[in-house]
Amino acid sequence: MGTDLQKSATKRAQLWLDGDFDEATKRQVKHLMEHDPKELEESFYRDLEFGTGGLRGIMGVGTNRMNIYTVGMATQGLANYLIKSFPGTEIRVAVSHDSRNNSRLFAERVADIFASNGFKVWLFDALRPTPELSFAIRELGCHSGVMVTASHNPKEYNGYKAYWNDGAQVTDPHDTNIIKEVEKITSPEQVRTGEAGDRIQVLDKSFDEKYLDRVHSLALAPDAVKRFHDMKIVYTPLHGAGVRLVPESLRRFGFTNVTVVPEQSILDGDFPTVASPNPEERTAMKMAIDLAEKIGAELVLATDPDADRLAIAVRDENDEFVLLNGNQTCALLASYLLTGWAERGKIKGKEFVVKTIVTSEMIPAVAKRFGVGCYDCLTGFKYIAKMVREREGREQYIGGGEESFGFMAGDFVRDKDGVSACSLAAEAAAWAKDKGMSLLEWLRSMYVEYGFYKESMVSVTRKGIEGVAEIADMMAAYRTTPPETILGSPVVEVRDILREPVDGEYSNVLQFITADGTKVSVRPSGTEPKIKFYFGVRAPLASVDEFEKVEAELDARLDQIKKELKL
């Protein structure tokens, strides 16, 4: 870091020492000034950015960290925008949080600020999954909502998702307009607190009943579940909010033999049993899989700390557990929903599913088979929710998802929903079992029907100030000199979503598509200091017997793409 940044960070830190901040915060700032200049710079060199989805950052003191002051200023900015957007209205908001350290503290701070601004506030009495917060906004007629969570990030992080009155995370123009209002709040002294009065109402477990009833309304195969109600299932909430509702939802669907990983059912923001509470990683699933092997379970389910993501592990022909990736999970759940709707004669020609632009091309192939539309959108469930909102009253949304282990069935929630996804995955396993198949066998039969689609992703992390600049340089290089060939096949299309919008939305994403249908997508993460590379290849699969041979060929192709891109 340059001298100018050092001076700027020190000057900003001194304002915290001199300002109206609590003594514990001032002691921490002083400690950084005297003993940790590098961390001082990282903590104060800029304001923590309120992005298009809200806040996310490392917890600690400083303008670039998650703390009650940065959370408070963001909330006041959001409150000011709500007041401008709904003049003369009693504004109603809902607030929830996950199990992370400081999540309850931040949620109570958010609720107090909203109420001090004259809003009617519903605050859950304890942690709840993100999808229930989305549901609450719609059910209670709220104008907005906040979920305090950093999703599946490491324990050092916390965050803040802002929602609009449709129960979805904010999209254009609200996202950029909120950012402008947040940027006007430059001091904690501008934040209204301590004037909540009686405007905060607590939501307790009675509200859970309403949400669980709606989740259960998605059930498609009650007879199959009755026949296999005692199918052994292991579930892990990874120390998070899923423990509140996922086991109960599975029980309502009819499953009677669900074992929750005891060590990971303990609510703990340090996530002591995993390096990172990300169910996308097999290491996070190890304890659940070990338990499943011990008790002879057929299915392993997991959710992340705010229970919006789902992970599934199933046994293969060697009786070993295989962790399905997000693309496979999305394809299975979409196919299950479409099959169930078709069996009930519910497909009338106006139904649709949604996937993101980096999610498997198998989804539209499945949708086409059932005569159902499939729309592409940008990465992020707020764009799936936007698709649903834009088509309400004209088309019927069935389900949709993304490769990062998110799925949303039905339209009563407008964000990815690990609670309903867990229940539907278990029901799909019972339905497949009723047909004489496992979930994995069913997936492989789908490859025979639609083609063997295989995807992979590489995430490159670049931390700190230097990392932000390096990621920007990488994207600039791909824009100026895109690859001419991939796997020997010429690149016939370069999509730059900064220039060519998807459903009217622009994003910093590049896609390279070859003559043989191979697709490579490159995008910086919107929530983490990472740049992500997505790869998709496809080959015909003549029979399930050839699965391993074709999979090896596809894996080799994916590995070669990574070598060509020097990843």
- Catalytic positions, written as ranges: 151
Tracing tokens 């007041």 back to the chain, one arrives at 83
> Which of 108, 68, 81, 168 has the alpha carbon at shortest distance from 385?
168
Q: Quote the crossing angle between the two packed helices 103-116 and 68-85, to the nearest 10°.
A: 40
Determine how many CB atoms are found less than 10 A away from the CB of residue 126: 16
Phi and psi for 173 in degrees, rounded to 5? -90, -5
Q: Would you give the DSSP letter of residue 483?
A: -
Cα–Cα distance for residue pair 54/49, rounded to 1 Å = 8
Tracing tokens 């097999």 back to the chain, one arrives at 282
Phi and psi for 51 in degrees, rounded to 5? -85, -170
Q: What residue spans of 57-154 are helical by DSSP H?
A: 68-85, 103-116, 130-139
With a CB cutoff of 8 Å and minimum separation 6, the contacts of 16 are 25, 26, 29, 44, 61, 62
Cis-peptide into 173, omega within 30 deg: yes
- Note whether 398 and 353 are within 8 A (CB): yes
Cα–Cα distance for residue pair 456/42, rounded to 1 Å = 33
Quick one: CA torsion of 290, 293, 299, 301, rounded to 10 degrees?
-10
Pairing relationship of beta strands 519-524 and 510-514 according to DSSP bridges: antiparallel
Which burial class, exposed, middle or buried, applies to 238 when counting CB atoms under 10 A from its CB (0-12, 13-18, 19+)? buried
Cα–Cα distance for residue pair 50/55, rounded to 1 Å = 5
Which structure tokens are listed for 274?
């995993």
Cα–Cα distance for residue pair 159/54, rounded to 1 Å = 8
